[in-house]
Amino acid sequence: MGSWGYLLWVRARAQPSDSIRFLRLGTGADILSGDPKLERIAKGNALALCATGTWTASFAPVLERMVADAEKLAGGPQNIFIDVSEVAKLDTFGAWLIERLRRSLTKGPVEAQIAGLSANYSSLVDEVRRVRATAVVDSSPITITGMLEQIGRAVAGVAGTVAGLVDMLGAVLAAGFRVLIHPRSFRLTSTVHHMEQVCWRAVPIIVLITFLIGCIIAQQGIFHFRRFGADIFVVDMLGVLVLREIGVLLVAIMVAGRSGSAYTAELGSMKMREEIDALRTMGFDPIEVLVLPRMMALVLALPILAFLGAMAALYGGGLVAWLYGGVQPEAFLLRLRDAISIDHFIVGIVKAPVMAAVIGIVACVEGLAVQGSAESLGQHTTASVVKGIFFVIVMDGVFAIFFASIGM
Amino acid sequence: MAREAQSEIQNPIIRVRDITVQFGSTRVLDGLNLDVKRGEILGFVGPSGAGKSVLTRTIIGLVPKVAGSIEVFGVDLDSSSTSQRRNVERRWGVLFQQGALFSSLTVRQNIQFPMREYLRVSQRLMDEITMAKLTMVGLKPEVAERFPSELSGGMIKRVALARALSLDPDLVFLDEPTSGLDPIGAGDFDELVRTLQRTLGLTVFMVTHDLDSLYTACDRIAVLGNGKIIAAGSIADMQASQHPWLRQYFHGKRARAVMG
């Protein structure tokens, strides 16, 4: 029935009517310039929409507006044809918009027809006709209850985090005992490699930063103590502060940022590329192969770095005390010997392996928790550094209470 | 302007001349010449490690070349201005070997990503076109809200193809599109590429190892060896060739199985 109606329409158009000829002339120029047009030509009971020009993605905004305009014609009593015989170029965007127009003009029993389709575009239009325009479910907007829910989940997640850390600690200790029983399964090469990454390559930057911090502490101390004529006490302050607290704490924070993040990113991308699953299927324990060497390297590295850091800070402090405060090196060393005992040094260095273990466990837990996406890798790497630093400071507080109560 | 359009129809869509690519001291491509004609599906074969992906990546501009010239759509990519180059990039789509979908975006956002960048169209139209593309590559609309990590290997390839086609390009590069697919899935994919080429008038540059693809999907085959094109022509030409690697490739056990 439809094609019969279209034939009538074509015959009507073929008869030389002034208005139509005028329109044809007009569109001829438009085809050259490429601008798409959709013209309405009414003839008797039939309405034809003539599409001309380039119906492609580059003209999509114009096309969409034209089609939206034409859609308002829906509901009329006429037979509607969409004549695409003069379309110069058609792609999926154009074809879909014509199909959308056809669908919205189809009301009740009268179906809008697409006519004049050239052979090379018919398969594209057929393809587009199969598309079901399903409404896309929009992601839920941000609401107050949603935000409260997020806060609730985050709080509940804290318990999960602690459980994950304890779980990893247990797994690492178990793997450690296994290695103690079968020392040949210990991965020495891997451990040495990580020692190089974490310890040896970290030395320059850690020494530099702790040196500068030592300088700053000494300068500030001298500046303020000078008012009381207590310049020399800057040595006491520097010694106690650096050996007990600053040395190890600062180095631990730097290592969390430098190596903790690297561990998380390494393990996370291995998880994403199924490398960890591959290890498992080959009968290897990822904890033993990947986590234990990293933990060992970190636990060995942090005391060394903390010691080097403390020495660099004392050196920097001594240098500033000499150049800025006029404290002669001999006087500085004498005073330092009186001010600090081996206890101060032990208090500092004992904390280092524990902090290293905390950083390592946090980093490995986060690394193994990475999901499939790049975003998840970023989130877990951030979480690794933030949580690592947080737990380092918490541990430092716990140690302070402990040493205070045993009188060290 | 009309003459320009005319010449663009007659000239090859990709014209590669005397391309040399070197990594360190290893010369991967050595004075390579290749033409890809408008509207054809060119199958690009060669032994593993011969540099098929390197050539693809050189044409797309991801690998720097030592010498030679590359023209795509008649635009010399070395001397072109930024806007010309963007225009060319907008007209080609690339399907990477591993799909290279953005892992933090959903399938729908992946497909809409180029549209958002290059076109100013309403969200409604983008959603509808996304559905059209998904239907074209044979996926269900439900897939649209999934993340790439929740898709199977075959689905990733299809979504990646849908993304490559999202701006209705004239030219698509497919890097081993059927690797990692089951034979039925691979056959469907070949069929799909054929259909899309017919419906959208695409030119397809396909790097492949799949003999079935060569037989069913490709119009012309180019063979890479020793950094050069050692043969180019129809499948019949390839079978007639006396080159030892080609003889082994097209008359080996697997080839006989494909030919039946």
Average pLDDT over residues A347-375: 92
Q: Which of A94-108, A190-204, A373-387, B38-52 has the lowest mean pLDDT?
A: A94-108
Closest-CA residue in chain B for A97?
B125
Sheet of A79-90: strands edge to edge?
Answer: A37-43, A46-55, A79-90, A113-115
Sheet of B228-233: strands edge to edge?
Answer: B92-95, B171-175, B203-207, B41-45, B220-225, B228-233
Chain B residues lying within 8 Å of A128, measured CB to CB = 132
Closest by alpha carbon to B219, among B205, B199, B239, B200? B205
Is pLDDT larger for residue B215 or for residue A383? A383
Q: Do the Cβ atoms of A61 and A36 come closer than 8 Å?
A: no
pLDDT tens-digit map of A50-73: 888 888 888 888 888 888 887 777
Closest-CA residue in chain A for B147?
A373
Dihedral (CA of A265, A268, A272, A275) sign: positive
The per-residue pLDDT for A295 is 94
pLDDT at A235 over 50: yes
Q: Do the Cβ atoms of B54 and B29 come closer than 8 Å?
A: yes
Q: How confident is the model at residue A253 (pLDDT cuts 50, 70, 90)?
A: very high
Chain-centroid distance of CA B175 in Å reads 6
| Residue B148 contacts A, CB cutoff 8 Å | yes
The per-residue pLDDT for A238 is 93
Q: Is residue B64 part of a domain?
A: no
pLDDT at B234 over 90: no
Q: Where are the alpha helices (DSSP H) in A256-328?
A: 261-272, 275-281, 286, 292-323
| Residue B62 contacts A, CB cutoff 8 Å | no
The per-residue pLDDT for A1 is 41
| Residue A118 contacts B, CB cutoff 8 Å | no
Q: Would you state the structure tokens that stand for residue B229, as one six-digit string?
A: 């094109």
| CA separation for the pair A122, A114 (Å, rounded) | 10
Q: Which of A97-111, A156-170, A253-267, B109-123 has the lowest mean pLDDT?
A: A97-111
Q: Do the Cβ atoms of B198 and B219 come closer than 8 Å?
A: no
Average pLDDT over residues A371-384: 89
The per-residue pLDDT for A21 is 37
From the CA of A66, how many Å to the nearest CA of chain B?
13
Nearest-5° Cα angle at B6, B2 to B7:
120
* Beta-bridge partners for B174: B95, B206
pLDDT tens-digit map of A67-125: 888 777 766 656 777 787 777 778 888 888 888 888 877 766 667 777 777 777 777 78
Q: Is residue B176 part of a domain?
A: no
pLDDT at A352 over 90: yes
In which element (H, E) is residue B34 found?
A: strand B26-36
Is pLDDT larger for residue B184 or for residue A383? A383
Chain B residues lying within 8 Å of A123, measured CB to CB = 195, 198-199
Q: Do the Cβ atoms of A98 and A118 come closer than 8 Å?
A: no
The per-residue pLDDT for A349 is 92
The per-residue pLDDT for A14 is 46
Q: Is residue B131 part of a domain?
A: yes
Is it true that domain A2-129 has CATH number 3.40.50.10540?
Answer: no
pTM of the model: 0.70
Q: Is residue B77 part of a domain?
A: no
Q: How confident is the model at residue A137 (pLDDT cuts 50, 70, 90)?
A: low
| CA separation for the pair A240, B147 (Å, rounded) | 54
| Residue B144 contacts A, CB cutoff 8 Å | yes
pLDDT tens-digit map of A258-295: 999 999 999 999 998 888 888 888 888 899 889 999 99
pLDDT tens-digit map of B29-82: 888 888 888 888 888 888 877 788 888 888 888 888 888 888 888 888 888 888
Q: Spell out a b/e string for A47-75, using b for 16 or more CB atoms within 10 Å of the CB, else e.
A: bbbbbbbbbbbbbbeebbebbbebeebee
Chain A residues lying within 8 Å of B92, measured CB to CB = none
Domain extent listing, chain A: 2-129, 156-406
Indicate the length of chain B as a whole number.
260
- Picking from A56, A64, A373, the nearest residue to B147 by CB comes out as A373
The per-residue pLDDT for A144 is 87
Dihedral (CA of A327, A328, A332, A335) sign: negative
Chain B residues lying within 8 Å of A372, measured CB to CB = 103, 147-150
| Residue A91 contacts B, CB cutoff 8 Å | yes
- Listed in sequence order, the residues at least 6 apart from A193 whose beta carbon sits closer than 8 Å to its beta carbon are A293
From the CA of A375, how many Å to the nearest CA of chain B?
6
Q: How confident is the model at residue A30 (pLDDT cuts 50, 70, 90)?
A: very low
In which element (H, E) is residue B140 found?
A: none
The per-residue pLDDT for B256 is 65
ipTM over 0.85: no
The per-residue pLDDT for A29 is 38
Average pLDDT over residues A203-213: 96
Q: Is residue B255 part of a domain?
A: no
The per-residue pLDDT for A108 is 63
Angle between helices A374-406 and A261-272 (to 10 degrees): 140
Chain B residues lying within 8 Å of A93, measured CB to CB = 121, 125, 129, 168
The per-residue pLDDT for A364 is 95
What domain range is B153 assigned to?
99-168
From the CA of A59, how many Å to the nearest CA of chain B?
9
In which element (H, E) is residue A395 found?
A: helix A374-406
Quick check: B148 and A372 CB within 8 A?
yes
Average pLDDT over residues A297-303: 95
User: Mutate which of A54, A92, A99, A123 to disrupt the B interface (most B C-beta within 10 Å)?
Assistant: A92
In which element (H, E) is residue B203 found?
A: strand B203-207
